[in-house]
Amino acid sequence: MFTGKLKVYLAVVGLFFAAPAACPEEMDPVLVRITGSSVNIRAEASRTGRVIGRFSGGETAVVLREEQGADPFPWSLVIARVPYPDGPVVEGWVYGQYVEPLPQGEWSGSVSGAQGLAFDSFYLATQERFGSTPEEAVRKLGKPLSRNDREVPGRHDPSYKVTFTELSYPGLELRYFSTKDSRALIGARVTEGDYLLGRAVRLDASPRQVLLELGPPQFQDGAVFGWSDEADYASLEVTFSGGKALLVDFSVVLD
């Protein structure tokens, strides 16, 4: 039975704070690290805002917006897990002095606890929606535009046959694998349409909707955001632009 978890690749447009400079309220989301220690998370973008949580320092988060007020640094609206990676997803304001953009293209953070469970839940919901076999997908979605089956010898035992199947629907590509012992969905790429992965990952979804389901990502490279699991078997890439998802690409690497 397939037990591999998910790994996800995600990237975001870079963020650089220049204080004291006016910052637009709306911006592309940015993966950051919280610096300092005992950093308050507030309900409002103000030093007098109600404290709703606290970072210990070193956590990763995603900045969704900035507001420049009378303070030298802007206030950043962030989504993060507190504590990371086992705590719940929290959304609130942090003073920009304690927000540092992470380098582009480098993985950060661990995936375990609540963060890992969120990815397990995402994968199970996605496989339930599209099925664990091509036949289940056809029953759920109807006849595909095309189907391609390919049988290859097992990587560790050539006599053990593995069948890979690709199904193509308008705006959706699905991939499956099957052996005599197991079968699973191993890929879903969405380029158009209203297809849903997990509970909130779809085209036109806002970064906030995706982050509230999956938590903060582990990777940023330009406009692509990525999450990873501790097993490092799968990948999900969500490309954001203009405040919405433009491309969703989920895949699993078999061992």
Taking only the tens place, the pLDDT of each residue in 126-165 is 999 999 999 999 999 999 999 999 999 877 777 788 999 9
Enter the CATH code of domain 15-101.
2.30.30.40
Angle at 108 between CA 175 and CA 74, to 5 degrees: 115
- Give the mean pLDDT of 197-218: 96
The C-alpha R_g of the chain, in whole angstroms, comes to 20
SS3 62: strand
What's residue 106's pLDDT? 80
Second CATH level (architecture) for the domain 113-252: Sandwich (2.60)
Q: Of the segments 92-96, 116-120, 217-221, 226-230, which one has the largest average pLDDT value?
A: 92-96
For residue 94, pLDDT over 60 is answered with yes
CB 97 within 8 A of CB 73: yes
In percent, the amount of the chain with pLDDT more than 70 equals 89
Which parts of the chain are beta strand (E)? 7-10, 26-34, 39-42, 51-55, 60-67, 75-81, 89-95, 99-101, 146-153, 161-169, 172-178, 183-190, 219-221, 224-228, 234-241, 244-252
What's residue 9's pLDDT? 31
Enumerate the domain spans of the chain. Answer: 15-101, 113-252
Q: With bands split at pLDDT 50, 70 and 90, how would you rate the model's confidence at 202?
A: very high
Taking every pair of C-alpha atoms in the chain, what is the biggest distance, in angstroms?
A: 70
Bridge partners (DSSP) of residue 99 are 34
